[in-house]
Copies of this chain bind each other. A is one copy, B any other.
């Protein structure tokens, strides 16, 4: 069975010129893929009437089963989605009674929260209830309703551009789209490795048959992810996937075979043992703590942490001895060990992670270059310390450090 195609059009000049970093393309693409669509494009277009029409036509020309438009439903002059759908599919705009009710109700909710009285809709607000003829309004999460219409076999769905509104409105819409298109969630093999480069993985897989798989190898922050999608009914594909998984698991440092990321694995291991983790961060400045508390319910296993960016903070919050800092420097294995052990004890945690390094761009020396990071993990019996030299700029070094710390905790928990 071929997967039905889906395309995504993101509108907004601010997404093209650096004002806003898009979140919806990633989110919508991931969700469509997981539900059985083949995502053919994510196209970001500026708020320009002619350009939007041409781009909408380009995507419709491929006749995808689904076309999701995000953005351009708001109150300002450059919100053009309804007009563009009208122009391309010949569906004149009119006040949609359901949408009028939705906008009015939502505006009233916002007004009440701010302690204001609603005295009727501003023209800017009412604009959001003008929909292409024959479309169905979708209940808004914020104020702007979405809409859905069908054109030459393509279900066109328009959603707002605000990410949390998209994420609130989307699941019900996706289920309806998938049912309508007969999309079948694919089988997916997903293996993650830590400690090998992409090229080593690619070389290992040269010996595997993969012609029936949608194979992809991606690398991020020192992790390599190998995924292979295939139809559930395809026995030959399933056999190829099994062989691939066996090859990787026997020769490579596979840490996940079920799609879970290291965050989730660490969370599950900690929770399963009733254990807690504390953090002591220098160059990551809190990012590791931020990452550990990203998952809902993380209060069950995150004890807390210390951000000890300066030597003074290392002494004040954790009591790292001044002579240790003096003798080895802040970026050293003994200091990483001390930070981890002292954070563990100060926060009465089962484990503690420490990160100390040189994220750059300044502060590197020939002995201790930018990218040098020591990571410690203190447990009940022992403290592991690892030395890394990460490539890239400040943000990259910090991101790799966070991932390396999570993996060191994972290894400690798996021992």
A25 within 8 A of B: yes
Which residues of chain B have C-beta atoms less than 8 A from A240's C-beta? Answer: none
Asked, given contacts A19-B227, A45-B41, A317-B347, whether A362 binds B297 with beta carbons under 8 Å apart, the answer is: yes
Are A312 and B348 neighbours in the complex by a CB distance under 8 Å? Answer: yes
Residue A379 is within 8 A (CB to CB) of chain B in the complex? no
Return the contact of A216 from the options B14, B122, B217, B288 (Cβ within 8 A). B14
In the complex the two chains form, is A22's CB within 8 Å of B26's CB? yes
Question: 1/0 per residue A56-88: CB within 8 Å of B?
Answer: 001000000000000000111110000000000
Q: Does A334 contact B (CB under 8 A)?
A: no
| Residue A33, interface by CB 8 Å | yes
Instruction: Name the contact of A199 in the complex, choosing from B75, B203, B283, B284 (C-beta under 8 A).
Output: B75
Contact residue among B31, B293, B347 (Cβ-Cβ distance under 8 Å from A285): B293
* Interfacial chain B residues near A284, Cβ < 8 Å: 290, 293
Residues A16 and B44 in contact in the complex (CB < 8 Å), given A164-B392, A306-B317:
no
**Is A411 positioned at the interface, with any CB of B under 8 Å from its CB?**
no
Stretch of A131-139, A147-155, A321-329, A393-401 lying at the B interface: A393-401
How many copies of this protein are present in the complex? Answer: 2
The distance from the CB of A139 to the nearest CB of chain B, in whole angstroms, is 16
A51 to B34, CA, bound (A): 21
A303 at the interface (CB under 8 A from B): yes
In the complex, which of the residues A16, A76, A218, A297 has the most CB atoms of chain B within 10 Å of its own CB atom? A16
- Contact for A214 among B13, B43, B293, CB less than 8 A: B13
Q: Identify the closest chain B residue to A395 (Cβ).
A: B294
Does A341 count as interface, using CB distance less than 8 angstroms?
no
Question: A264 interface residue, CB < 8 Å from B?
Answer: no
Complex CA–CA separation, A271 to B19 (angstroms): 26
- Contact across chains for A34 and B20 when beta carbons are under 8 A apart: no
Q: How far is the CB of A88 from chain B (nearest CB, A)?
A: 16
- When the two chains form their complex, are residues A290 and B290 in contact, meaning their CB atoms are under 8 A apart? yes
**Please, which residues of chain B bring their CB within 8 A of the CB of A357?**
none
In the assembled complex, the Cα of A47 lies from the Cα of B218 at a distance in Å of: 12
Whole-angstrom CA separation of A22 from B21 in the bound complex: 10
Please provide the chain A residues from 351 to 379 with a CB less than 8 Å away from any CB of chain B in the complex: 360-362
* A165–chain B nearest beta-carbon distance, Å: 8
In the complex, what's the smallest C-beta–C-beta distance from A164 to chain B, in angstroms?
4
Q: If A286-B289, A392-B164 touch, does A14 touch B346 (CB 8 Å cutoff)?
A: no
Residue of B29, B40, B202 near A18 (CB, 8 A) is B29
Q: Is A220 at the interface (CB under 8 A from chain B)? A: yes
Alpha-carbon distance A203/B164, docked complex (angstroms): 24
A290 B297 Cβ-Cβ under 8 A: no
Contact with B along A277-291 (1 / 0, CB 8 A): 001010111111111
List the 10 closest A-B pairs by CB distance, nearest first: A18-B30, A286-B289, A285-B293, A304-B313, A286-B286, A164-B392, A17-B33, A305-B307, A287-B290, A286-B290
CB within 8 Å of B: which residues of A?
A: 12-22, 25-27, 29-34, 39-47, 51, 55, 58, 74-78, 113, 122, 124-125, 142, 162-164, 167-168, 198-199, 202-203, 214-220, 225, 227, 279, 281, 283-294, 296-299, 302-310, 312-313, 316-317, 346-348, 360-362, 389, 391-396, 398
